[in-house]
Structure 1
């Protein structure tokens, strides 16, 4: 191909990606339809991100998916009366072009494949969400909720509850939402309404409430009703502590973004969210590590059977550690986080059993905190019930990542060059590193990367939707 043809091909892809953007935006804002390409979200994606999502299809199916091949499916989707679902136009396009050549049949094909959600009428009433705390997870949850703003959005961020309230606090909170040293700038605008103690982000009005404890807040004063309070402070982890939220006027349910104590259900979205019942008022979204490893462990156990194993987490440092050596109540965590690898404990291996009871008592675990600010790595050393090979394990997980109920939790990479910083912003619970897999007889060692901030926050949003009965169906169903 000549240099001019390369440039012409790029120009064509770029223009098609630009043409996709308004259709993608309207589908979500007006109909609540989120469009993906082999799991890669296109909502608010740049032209380059749309092109890259199409290039990655070759990794999954061995062939290119050109934008000119997928664009007619997006156009056909925009003409259908579909609402509140996730549609993978990549899988639909690949399946179609394998069996058809006539572009005129695409609209009929799409109507058939999406018949489950055409003219679907359901409870579309929006539900109020309150973020109690505004740290690393709280701010990322805010970003995820705000990017979904629009008249079809059913998860409405209504308020943020903070301690403090000193002069200049509101402006500083807005600045932390606008700028993030790890995740980059906020995709949009953030305004400060000082007179009313509020932030306005991409048109979303967010009341900022200052309180020293849950009992001080009456949410109904701000027009908030039947709210889900997402507690990301980590201060309260049992039913008595989290129950304080339920006593507040305007609150219906509470969700903890940390492992819970006692009988509170620990949920890993994609694995055991069906355990959430309508009358469950307090739920935990478990930990980032538990969310990363449980989907892979479930997949492996379902296919090969896990006799026992050990989980070692190479975890980025967190705000719980010290910047420089200083007193800390926990062993070793008082030593400087940016300068040391620190051996510490993790309850993730035991916590897996709460989401996956079949593995109760079969796993041990430990953690090493390392001097990176985000993205962690779990190493799963497992003894299985039957002999496996590297290829058999990798092929199976690759299939699971594309065509199973865990496709939104497990990502799969074949790259021999990937490192932790490449996975900042990953929306998956975990990314399976196939090139690092070791298998011999009945023993395997598996490596799972995870963005312990953003990927976990995406999992939390899934639990929020389930608690409020606002889950989206993902289409197409089954293999492509």
Structure 2
């Protein structure tokens, strides 16, 4: 498991293989020439024995892809926007200091900081039909852990907020059990520390405007939840290797 968060190219994967590893799983979005990119719970069934160098995408991709799939399968998504509200990360400064990105020169504990994100590209990697139909922005906030994702999508079929919540709640209890969770408790970010799910839908924040615009809030422990998916994907890779 390459959990540096830095490497994700086939070249780096091959270096691990040359050093004796049988298979490589990156905890980071990889280059397009990797054998596979997996969001566990959505496409791990596509893994094959010959897949040696694999990416587990990112914590935010693992969080939002299952929810997008559920909404698209049920209502037909036409377009969408995503805002990730992410806890501070290792590439930010403790105090104001140099960084090539001027916004990241500012102290992580003092500001809400807009940053670049490739989440929209990650979405279209799994759903090519959404090319140029999804946009994403990201902000870093001065908390230690847990991320919230604000998802807005326009859909083809008319729907009500309670119907959206029922769909997501049933998925959490059924096909996506262990991957997606659902809550209507009045929780805040710290309450999701060490939650093993990829995504926790906050049903209290679901809104529908004009019958076709859905907005929902999804939480994830971007460390612990994603670490669980790394282990799940590792087991899936081992299972197909010895099948």
| 1:437 and 2:213 matched | no
Looking at structure 2, the residues matched to 445 and 465 of structure 1 have their Cα atoms a distance apart, in angstroms, of: 34
| 1:272 and 2:43 matched | yes
User: What's the CA shift for 1:241?
Assistant: 1.6
| 1:365 and 2:136 matched | yes
Looking at structure 2, the residues matched to 330 and 260 of structure 1 have their Cα atoms a distance apart, in angstroms, of: 22
| 1:459 and 2:233 matched | no
Structure 2, unmatched stretches of 5+, are: none
TM-score of the aligned structures, taking structure 2 as reference length:
0.95
User: What's the CA shift for 1:358?
Assistant: 3.8
User: What's the CA shift for 1:470?
Assistant: 7.0
Aligned-residue Cα RMSD (Å) equals: 1.4
Looking at structure 1, the residues matched to 152 and 71 of structure 2 have their Cα atoms a distance apart, in angstroms, of: 12
Contact 1:377 1:449 in 2 (8 A): yes
* Larger Rg, first or second structure (1 or 2): 1
Looking at structure 2, the residues matched to 349 and 326 of structure 1 have their Cα atoms a distance apart, in angstroms, of: 29
Q: Deviations over 1:184-225 (max 9, x none)?
A: xxxxxxxxxxxxxxxxxxxxxxxxxxxxxxxxxxxxxxxxxx
Which residue in the other structure is 2:173 paired with? 402
User: What's the CA shift for 1:357?
Assistant: 3.2
3-state SS of 1:367 partner? strand
User: What's the CA shift for 1:359?
Assistant: 3.0
| 1:428 and 2:197 matched | yes
Looking at structure 1, the residues matched to 88 and 102 of structure 2 have their Cα atoms a distance apart, in angstroms, of: 15
TM-score of the aligned structures, taking structure 1 as reference length:
0.49
User: What's the CA shift for 1:353?
Assistant: 2.1
Which residue in the other structure is 1:174 paired with? none
Alignment of 1:123-134 (within 5 A): none
3-state SS of 1:436 partner? strand
User: What's the CA shift for 1:349?
Assistant: 2.1
Structure having the higher helix fraction is 1
Looking at structure 2, the residues matched to 420 and 234 of structure 1 have their Cα atoms a distance apart, in angstroms, of: 23
Contact 1:315 1:370 in 2 (8 A): yes
Which residue in the other structure is 2:146 paired with? 375
Contact 1:267 1:355 in 2 (8 A): no
Q: Which has the higher contact order (CA 8 A, sep 6+)?
A: 2
Q: Could you tell me which of 54, 57, 72 is aligned with 1:301?
A: 72
Looking at structure 2, the residues matched to 353 and 401 of structure 1 have their Cα atoms a distance apart, in angstroms, of: 24
Q: How many residues align?
A: 239
Contact 1:321 1:334 in 2 (8 A): yes
Contact 2:47 2:240 in 1 (8 A): no
